[in-house]
């Protein structure tokens, strides 16, 4: 049984019963359309405010936060929304979820910080605030009693590491004034000097050299092969050793969490390009050893970054669409594969000097996917189109004619 199918099956069992409830579906629809008065009526009629209404076991207040609607958030709090509830994806409380989203959610964040919150469950707020250069929220976190050297749930990194990793000099200065441990290390055992140097944050580097001349690197270099997998995990993949279900879930959570953190950073186009290339290369290596589930997770996260940080770079999007399409199709996830492969074809004509073989390969993959779905007419159409694009490539000719022969045998 395919790993991806197992995960899909598990998640469907987790969420289907609550998400398919008509009342919860109605609530979800009303929140998405920001119908405040109608939502109030439903709540007045006794609907449980803390029922799950969306993916990853999130309650209505999460969706209200997503819509960046402070009025709705206040309504949910007024009716008793659980502000210490943790979702299934990153164990984010509503406050942490608001901080993790890309965009200006400061009004909601500052409002939630004024409510009664469980310190232990909401402690990540100081790290998110530091990474977003939100001094007000850091101050409120400290007033709540959160330790300035608290380490976040996923990576075990302090607010100081988050601040430097995001390039925020003012936040770095503030945290040090408040007593943050200047010797704190990242999950890669690198200190703030190395992090600033790695990301070319010159102002931070100059500040540290001037004010903390004795603070030096703890390793000789900073090089991360992938932001999502440890060297031990990579070695296990290479040796094709099995991972338990909980291990896989933990890795996926880490991948998604790191992507959320990356989306809050400011980097040059060259740096983003390096990050995305690294993600894509690692994904293809995983695909080659049949770890398509994690390969897809890496590529989907890379696509989120590209669509946010490099949305005008069509070549980057083109490559990610192509990789995702091919892996999904080879993993028999045909509808998803078709979606991304068609996006690849759409972008092909819009980029300068695209790789010619990729267009032919894309049509071939579409033929393969439709054949897998049993739509032989569409499969035949795309295989034939693929043939018209083959030039001086005997191997591609043989491959496509072989596929066509197999298709005709099934007709």
Mind spelling out the 3-state secondary structure of 141-201? HHHHCCCCCCCCCCCCCCHHHHHHHCCCHHHHHHHHHCCCCCCCCCCCCCCHHHHHHHCCC
Q: What DSSP assignment string belongs to 289-324?
A: TT-HHHHHHHHHHHHHHHHHHSTT-HHHHHHHHHHH
Which residues fall within 8 angstroms of residue 331, CB to CB, at 6 or more apart?
A: 2, 4, 292, 296, 337
Same domain (yes/no): 316, 397: yes
Whether 109 and 140 map to the same domain: the answer is no
Cα separation, 228 vs 231, whole angstroms = 10
| Both structure tokens of 18 | 């609550």
Phi/psi class of residue 266: alpha, beta or left (left: φ > 0; alpha: ψ in -120 to 50)?
beta
Nearest to 113 by CA among 127, 88, 132, 96: 96
pLDDT of residue 23: 63
Distance between CA atoms of 287 and 291, rounded to whole angstroms?
Answer: 5
Q: In terms of domains, do 381 and 405 share one?
A: yes
- What is the helix (H) or strand (E) element at residue 12, kind and residue range? helix 3-19
Are 96 and 124 in contact by the 8 Å Cβ rule? The answer is: yes
Say yes or no: 133 and 187 in one domain: yes
Could you report the per-residue pLDDT of 281-310, keeping only the tens digit for each? 778 777 777 778 888 888 998 999 899 888
Helices 36-44 and 22-32: crossing angle, nearest 10°? Answer: 150
Residue 52 phi/psi, 5-degree rounding, is -70, 130
| pLDDT value for 222 | 34
Residues 201, 253, single domain; the answer is no
Helices (H) and strands (E) in the chain, counts: 23, 2
Q: Which tokens belong to 68?
A: 């960046």
Name 160's bridge partners: none
Instruction: Find, among 306, 262, 276, the residue nearest to 166 by Cα.
Output: 262
What is the enclosing helix (H) or strand (E) of 52?
strand 52-54
The domain that holds 298 is classified in CATH as 1.25.40.10
Q: In terms of domains, do 262 and 376 share one?
A: yes
Q: Are residues 88 and 173 in the same domain?
A: no
H/E segment holding residue 53: strand 52-54
The residue among 222, 251, 274 that closes a domain is 222
The residue out of 83, 99, 122 marking a domain boundary is 122
Q: Which of 185, 200, 222 is the last residue of a domain?
A: 222
Q: What is the pLDDT of residue 245?
A: 83
The reply to whether 58 and 193 lie within a common domain is no
Residue pair 43/79 in contact by the 8 Å Cβ criterion: yes
Following CA atoms 86, 87, 92, 98 in sequence, which dihedral angle do they give, to the nearest 10 degrees? Answer: -110
Other Cβ atoms within 10 Å of 173 Cβ, number: 14
What pLDDT score does 125 carry? 95
H or E segment to which residue 62 belongs: helix 60-66
For the chain, 411 residues long, give each residue's pLDDT as a single digit of tens. 343 333 333 333 344 444 456 667 788 889 989 999 999 999 998 888 998 888 777 899 999 999 999 999 999 999 999 999 988 767 789 999 999 887 889 999 999 999 999 999 999 999 999 999 999 999 999 999 999 999 988 778 899 999 998 899 999 999 999 999 999 988 767 899 988 987 789 999 999 999 999 998 875 433 334 456 666 776 777 677 778 888 888 888 888 877 877 777 777 777 787 788 778 877 877 777 777 888 888 899 899 989 988 888 888 898 899 999 999 998 899 999 999 999 999 988 787 667 767 888 899 999 999 999 999 999 999 999 888 888 767 777 778 888 888 888 877
Domain extent at residue 141: 127-222
Query: Are residues 270 and 398 located together in one domain of the fold?
Result: yes
Q: Is the pTM of this model over 0.75?
A: no
Looking at residue 157, which CATH number applies to its domain?
A: 1.25.40.20
d(CA 328, CA 332): 6
Same domain, 248 and 370: yes
Structural domain tally of the chain?
3
Please tell me whether residues 89 and 138 are part of one structural domain.
Answer: no
Reading the block at residue 208, the tokens are 């540290």
Q: Are residues 208 and 137 part of one domain?
A: yes
Confirm if 196 and 227 have CB atoms less than 8 A apart: no
């Amino acid at each position: 049984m395919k790993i991806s199918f197992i995960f899909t099956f598990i998640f469907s069992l987790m969420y289907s019963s609550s998400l398919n409830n008509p009342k919860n579906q109605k609530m979800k629809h009303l929140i998405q359309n920001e119908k405040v008065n109608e939502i109030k009526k439903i709540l007045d009629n006794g609907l449980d405010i803390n029922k799950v209404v969306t993916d990853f076991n999130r309650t209505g207040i999460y969706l209200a936060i997503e819509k960046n609607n402070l009025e709705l958030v206040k309504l949910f709090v007024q009716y008793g929304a659980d502000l210490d509830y943790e979702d299934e994806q990153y164990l984010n409380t509503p406050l942490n979820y608001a901080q993790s989203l890309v965009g200006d959610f400061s009004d909601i964040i500052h409002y939630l910080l004024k409510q009664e919150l469980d310190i232990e469950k909401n402690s990540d707020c100081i790290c998110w605030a530091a990474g977003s250069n939100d001094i007000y929220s850091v101050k409120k976190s400290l007033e709540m009693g959160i330790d300035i050297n608290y380490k976040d749930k996923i990576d075990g990194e302090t607010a100081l590491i988050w601040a430097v990793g995001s390039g925020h000099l003012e936040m770095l200065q503030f945290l040090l004034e408040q007593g943050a441990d200047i010797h704190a290390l990242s999950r890669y055992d690198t200190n703030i000097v190395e992090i600033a140097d790695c990301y070319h944050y010159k102002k931070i580097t100059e500040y540290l050299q001037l004010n903390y001349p004795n603070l030096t690197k703890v390793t000789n270099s900073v090089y991360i092969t992938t932001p999502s997998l440890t060297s031990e995990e990579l070695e296990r993949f290479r040796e094709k050793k099995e991972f338990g279900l909980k291990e896989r879930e933990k890795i996926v959570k880490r991948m998604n969490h790191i992507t959320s953190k990356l989306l809050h950073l400011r980097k040059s186009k060259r740096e983003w390009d390096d990050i995305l290339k690294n993600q894509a290369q690692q994904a293809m290596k995983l695909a080659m050893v049949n770890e398509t589930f994690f390969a897809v997770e890496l590529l989907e996260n890379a696509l989120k970054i590209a669509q946010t940080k490099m949305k005008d770079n069509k070549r980057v999007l083109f490559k990610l669409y192509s990789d995702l399409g091919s892996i999904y199709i080879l993993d028999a996830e045909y509808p998803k594969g078709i979606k991304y492969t068609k996006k690849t074809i759409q972008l092909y004509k819009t980029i300068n000097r695209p790789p010619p073989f990729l267009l032919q390969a894309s049509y071939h993959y579409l033929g393969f996917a439709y054949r897998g779905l049993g739509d032989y007419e569409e499969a035949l159409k795309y295989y034939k189109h693929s043939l018209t694009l083959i030039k001086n490539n005997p191997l591609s000719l043989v491959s496509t004619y072989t596929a066509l022969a197999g298709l005709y045998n099934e007709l």
